[in-house]
Chains A and B, each alone.
Chain A
């Protein structure tokens, strides 16, 4: 008897035909609740949009408010990856690298650079200041011609030395708006070395452009909105007589007198490391 009552009440909680209630509420009650929540959420969305709008108004179009996390710019290599294993006899093992590099360097083709960018006076910052509130936009960029990479430009050697077991790696420094690396006219440069135990195996390394330096004329960067055609300067390194058939851990660093060393945790702040292995055996 008591159980029957319980059963019916349990059913009634979902749909009670006598009061026409679904889950304890009538349709109109449910409607009101849904309406309430609709209005409530629309109001909340409005409020959120308002605060977001206000916040976006406070932002500068050309420079983010905070850059303190970017004090040490990151470094990246092309082709990407922390391990490169190539076999001089196996085209397939390096073919994709070459494609990557071709692709990556296509925007640096001399013709394209000449068309879009200016020739700038080298070894000095290319500062294009705004005059007060009047923005000096768009800002011009300096040419970085692919040919500057010489041996590693892929213009002469379409395999970037991969076929010969003397691979090229291209290094770039992450873009940071307003960054002026190297004070007193000393350009930052890249230096690569092997990690301790591999130091005698790395052999000779060639840097392009000369000294592996990033010329000062490419700085400062004014952001993608103001400086649409900015060409990020590159440094290519070529391993001329690296020990073959062995894993070699290589680390490249940026050397500059005003870039602080990155934190221990960040393996890519101001440095980049990778493992290279060139197999010559079939």
Chain B
């Protein structure tokens, strides 16, 4: 099954080289998922502009006619994404009402009603117990359902606030006229104009562009803006320059293009549709709860059937036996557990929200804790998503700039005159400016207008040399040649600072090799020296080294123009260059990168020590990806990647070799780390893919398409991993949806990704995930404790009924008192266990193995039911016998007394002393017994909650630091006292005041539980993994 599906992805990821999808296919209305999984079917980028125009019946100057546009609009529908089919609120509500654990309670409730119906039909005065129990069970489910529904509704409200409600406008040319229309009305064939700052209204085939750059990061993950031009530069529509994509942003320049796809047919639309079509599996906690339900049901049915047979053998009628059967099965239902689990998860969700992890789905709280693999997007998650100057090369030396977010890093030597020159060039030959009104903000937080690298330079200079504005004012700009792709440089001419110096200063920056070609001299320590071969060699080395770090390198040079040739007032002509641009003086190199976030390396390290594999999956280039991966520790220091080894083999470690990542990967599986290029990924078979995921601990996937991200996630899941995916872009959203837990970015994330995710990092910080993992693991441990605690009291609740049936004693514990325990006194202590601190460093152990480490396993049941529960039951029965004996009914008389005891007509029942009792009198004693049994359970649960606090440690090691738990102890005691002593309770709940001495009946048993469990834990600590392990509640 799995094979077929994955294969279809695999085919899907290979490009449509042979034009498999013809335009006619594209127009098909049917949204076939397989079709969606294929790569982008755009072919227009390979057509000439004329062909394109013909195809869409449009004109390159006039645009569409209004009539045609209207016709197309009707044919294709509005240009907007079909919102993912939102689940109606009532279905969401029903899901809460009938999902997972609730089913168990509903079954219980239905059984209760059934039993009551049988009783009502056969008895004159049916006992209301079953009816009440049924009602209470239903109420519990409904109330808990409402609670979690509102809890999740709250999260989705926060989600909705993210949505951008501003309607988009688009500038189109129709019938030769420019008009601004609503972006939804744009149709295929429209001629559209975009300028810097616009959002691209549809997928465009660019027909003309002026310095146009688009930010494709949300689609491809590339952090740098890409320039757009009319020429087809790549077969892959995602990489070619002449296509601009729907909902990406135009950063600068202008462009004109023909709309080729609109709405759901756009690249973005296809990904969004693919995402909403994906089914995400059950959460691990849902699976655990299912397993738990199976276990509990097994125990319940086993007990029920056993005692059904026993009851029939003892001579009860079939009908009575059926009632008993139902009663026993229902008694096994832990009524309070659903509420406890929900509250525990909610508490953790709240705690996580405080730490900037917003959880959309309560169950996802735990998923992060089970995570064994994190597939992280690079841009914006691991990195800051802004270019920053990282290195500089001047004075024949590489200097490191501070790239941290808070400028806490080391600084370099700023005294060199070469630096002053470099800074001046960088400040002057730079069109970026700070947007107005941000003077009070720290420099790094300010918004800029302009290219990302220029902004990076601007901020760098502003930080190290003070106001760039002032520098620019002192050096008035006289002429400027902006960057273009043929020159690959940008220059400007300025007046000098010195008013007496009438020379002009020419500054230039651009691709380093082009700059070097124009230079004849170089500044070293502020002095101009001729550029010799040695210098060129060291330049080459520096350039390669910086390039190898995945950084974008720019070269800078300047020239003080001789006054005799260029006197003051010289008219510089930039179109027809009338001044020298040769024999300049080389100043230095500056390189930029989107630097990793400060907290990320530490977080990655923590993930690693927690046994979580961190895989980087990015649309960005392999070199950049690898550099960042090394920077944040995804590829750890000293670990060589496959291609490093390869380059050693070939003996040349040049920048070019880094690009040759297509090197046959699998022959070199001895490397722990590897960087895999998207094009290589396409060629891999499923087995090879599995091999890579299995054998390499440090993996970086670069240049991956959204579909490939999906394959990677699937591959990890196939190997049994629980996968978390982090991402912000639309390209990540299919993977986010497919992952066991998708984590989207709250600030930079796109709406589509937030829709697809289960969790949102409000601060976009990868480090928050670590907090999430920690909380998730803690809640898993603590849920185990809560469940162990809650389940234990099931035994003292069931055994009274069993003995009532088998040995015919007066009922020791009634339904009401059982409910008082399950929904009353047990609640707060059970919930307080969610606040329990971890016993050891949970971030130092491996993630749990979902097949082995169950939330509830047979051992937990056996200890809770078979050991602690039994002691508790004895404690309860002891109080029961004490009360009856002290009132005159010695244990010897009790066996078999039930028929007379429950006979309303018998009002002179004789006790062991010869006294006679009316029905009501002995019932009061019986209800007092219920109360005492109830109080005894509270007393033994004191010990149980203390015992459940820890799984291995002694309480004396762990301490009693959990204040909520201490509060819980007092609360349950106070509640028990309240229920027993409040006047009127005898009528309302049939609970009666107890003599003070009866409170102490169960104390020996409480002490026994504590002592027994301390011994059990001591044995487990002494023999880790040894024969006593079967006495351990837990696998870990």
Which residues of A line the B interface, CB within 8 A?
2, 29, 32-33, 36-37, 40-41, 44, 47-48, 51-52, 55-56, 59, 62-67, 69-70, 73-76, 80-82, 172, 174-177, 221, 223-225, 227, 230, 263, 265-269, 272
- Is the beta-carbon distance between B917 and A70 smaller than 8 angstroms? yes
What are 18 A-to-B residue pairs whose CB atoms are below 8 Å?
A: A37-B866, A44-B870, A44-B874, A52-B878, A59-B885, A59-B890, A62-B913, A64-B887, A64-B913, A64-B915, A66-B995, A69-B921, A74-B916, A223-B913, A223-B914, A224-B914, A268-B918, A268-B919
Nearest CB in chain B: distance from A177 CB, A? 6
Write the B925-955 contact mask toward A (1 if CB under 8 angstroms, else 0).
1000000000000000000000000000000
Write the B1019-1036 contact mask toward A (1 if CB under 8 angstroms, else 0).
000000001001100000
Q: Of the listed stretches B184-192, B448-456, B665-673, B903-911, name the one at the interface; the rest are far from the partner chain.
A: B903-911
- Is the beta-carbon distance between B1008 and A47 smaller than 8 angstroms? yes
With contacts A65-B887, A66-B995 taken as known, whether A176 is within 8 angstroms of B915 at the C-beta atoms is yes
A269 to chain B: which residues have CB within 8 Å?
918, 920-921
A32–B1026 CA distance with the chains assembled, in angstroms: 13
Nearest CB in chain B: distance from A45 CB, A? 9
Which residues of B line the A interface, CB within 8 A?
2, 866-867, 870-871, 874, 877-878, 881-882, 885-888, 890-891, 905, 907-908, 910-921, 924-925, 995, 1004, 1008, 1027, 1030-1031
Nearest CB in chain A: distance from B885 CB, A? 6
Nearest CB in chain A: distance from B968 CB, A? 27
- Is the beta-carbon distance between A69 and B913 smaller than 8 angstroms? no
A223–B919 CA distance with the chains assembled, in angstroms: 20
Nearest CB in chain B: distance from A124 CB, A? 22
- Among A36, A81, A267, the residue within 8 A (CB) of B920 is A267
- Is the beta-carbon distance between B908 and A174 smaller than 8 angstroms? yes
- Among A32, A47, A70, the residue within 8 A (CB) of B921 is A70
With contacts A51-B1004, A223-B914 taken as known, whether A66 is within 8 angstroms of B887 at the C-beta atoms is yes
A230 to chain B: which residues have CB within 8 Å?
914
- Among A66, A82, A265, the residue within 8 A (CB) of B905 is A82
- Among B878, B912, B1027, the residue within 8 A (CB) of A55 is B878
With contacts A175-B916, A224-B913 taken as known, whether A69 is within 8 angstroms of B874 at the C-beta atoms is no
Closest to B924 in A: A69
Closest to A81 in B: B905
A177–B915 CA distance with the chains assembled, in angstroms: 6
Nearest CB in chain B: distance from A168 CB, A? 19
- Is the beta-carbon distance between A225 and B917 smaller than 8 angstroms? no
A75–B907 CA distance with the chains assembled, in angstroms: 7
- Among A69, A74, A224, A268, the residue within 8 A (CB) of B887 is A69
- Is the beta-carbon distance between B914 and A177 smaller than 8 angstroms? yes
A82–B925 CA distance with the chains assembled, in angstroms: 24
- Among B908, B925, B1030, the residue within 8 A (CB) of A69 is B925
B910 to chain A: which residues have CB within 8 Å?
175, 224
A239–B823 CA distance with the chains assembled, in angstroms: 55
- Is the beta-carbon distance between B915 and A175 smaller than 8 angstroms? yes
Closest to A266 in B: B920
- Is the beta-carbon distance between A64 and B995 smaller than 8 angstroms? no
With contacts A64-B915, A74-B907 taken as known, whether A33 is within 8 angstroms of B1030 at the C-beta atoms is yes
New A-B contacts (4) at CB < 8 Å, excluding given A2-B2, A48-B878: A64-B913, A76-B907, A175-B914, A175-B915
Nearest CB in chain A: distance from B929 CB, A? 12
A70 to chain B: which residues have CB within 8 Å?
915, 917, 921
- Among B905, B913, B917, the residue within 8 A (CB) of A174 is B917
Nearest CB in chain B: distance from A3 CB, A? 9
- Is the beta-carbon distance between B878 and A74 smaller than 8 angstroms? no
- Is the beta-carbon distance between A74 and B1008 smaller than 8 angstroms? no
A41–B867 CA distance with the chains assembled, in angstroms: 9
A227–B1008 CA distance with the chains assembled, in angstroms: 42
With contacts A52-B878, A59-B886, A66-B886 taken as known, whether A265 is within 8 angstroms of B920 at the C-beta atoms is yes
Nearest CB in chain B: distance from A102 CB, A? 19
- Is the beta-carbon distance between B914 and A74 smaller than 8 angstroms? no
With contacts A70-B917, A175-B916 taken as known, whether A52 is within 8 angstroms of B908 at the C-beta atoms is no
- Among A52, A80, A224, the residue within 8 A (CB) of B891 is A52
- Is the beta-carbon distance between A55 and B925 smaller than 8 angstroms? no
Closest to B874 in A: A48
A272 to chain B: which residues have CB within 8 Å?
907
Nearest CB in chain A: distance from B948 CB, A? 19
- Among B867, B886, B1027, the residue within 8 A (CB) of A40 is B867
B891 to chain A: which residues have CB within 8 Å?
52
A47 to chain B: which residues have CB within 8 Å?
874, 1004, 1008
Closest to A63 in B: B913
A82–B919 CA distance with the chains assembled, in angstroms: 14
B887 to chain A: which residues have CB within 8 Å?
64-67, 69
Nearest CB in chain A: distance from B899 CB, A? 15
A266 to chain B: which residues have CB within 8 Å?
918-921
B886 to chain A: which residues have CB within 8 Å?
59, 64-66
A66 to chain B: which residues have CB within 8 Å?
886-887, 995
Q: Which of A41, A63, A69, A174 has its CB near the most chain B CB atoms (within 10 A)?
A: A69
Nearest CB in chain A: distance from B862 CB, A? 8
B877 to chain A: which residues have CB within 8 Å?
48
- Is the beta-carbon distance between A174 and B915 smaller than 8 angstroms? yes
Closest to A263 in B: B920
- Is the beta-carbon distance between A76 and B908 smaller than 8 angstroms? yes
Nearest CB in chain A: distance from B192 CB, A? 51
Closest 10 CB pairs of A and B: A224-B914, A74-B918, A174-B916, A266-B920, A64-B888, A65-B886, A268-B918, A268-B907, A76-B908, A223-B913
A153–B881 CA distance with the chains assembled, in angstroms: 41
Closest to B1004 in A: A51
A70–B222 CA distance with the chains assembled, in angstroms: 87
A81–B914 CA distance with the chains assembled, in angstroms: 22
A41 to chain B: which residues have CB within 8 Å?
870
Nearest CB in chain A: distance from B1025 CB, A? 15
Closest to B1030 in A: A33
Closest to A76 in B: B908
B912 to chain A: which residues have CB within 8 Å?
64
Q: Which of B2, B912, B925 has its CB near the most chain A CB atoms (within 10 A)?
A: B912
B915 to chain A: which residues have CB within 8 Å?
64, 67, 70, 174-177, 221, 223
- Is the beta-carbon distance between A55 and B1008 smaller than 8 angstroms? no
Nearest CB in chain A: distance from B860 CB, A? 15
Closest to A64 in B: B888
- Among B866, B905, B1030, the residue within 8 A (CB) of A80 is B905
A224–B912 CA distance with the chains assembled, in angstroms: 8
A29–B885 CA distance with the chains assembled, in angstroms: 42
A82 to chain B: which residues have CB within 8 Å?
905
Nearest CB in chain A: distance from B33 CB, A? 23
B908 to chain A: which residues have CB within 8 Å?
74, 76, 172, 174
A175–B917 CA distance with the chains assembled, in angstroms: 8
B1004 to chain A: which residues have CB within 8 Å?
47, 51
Closest to B886 in A: A65
A36 to chain B: which residues have CB within 8 Å?
1031
- Is the beta-carbon distance between A55 and B920 smaller than 8 angstroms? no
A146–B390 CA distance with the chains assembled, in angstroms: 117
Nearest CB in chain A: distance from B833 CB, A? 25
A150–B1030 CA distance with the chains assembled, in angstroms: 76
Closest to A272 in B: B907
Closest to B884 in A: A64
A75 to chain B: which residues have CB within 8 Å?
907
B924 to chain A: which residues have CB within 8 Å?
69
A69–B928 CA distance with the chains assembled, in angstroms: 11
B866 to chain A: which residues have CB within 8 Å?
37
A73 to chain B: which residues have CB within 8 Å?
916
B925 to chain A: which residues have CB within 8 Å?
69
A267 to chain B: which residues have CB within 8 Å?
920
B918 to chain A: which residues have CB within 8 Å?
74, 174, 266, 268-269
A40–B865 CA distance with the chains assembled, in angstroms: 13
- Is the beta-carbon distance between A177 and B907 smaller than 8 angstroms? no
A56–B912 CA distance with the chains assembled, in angstroms: 13
A47–B1006 CA distance with the chains assembled, in angstroms: 13
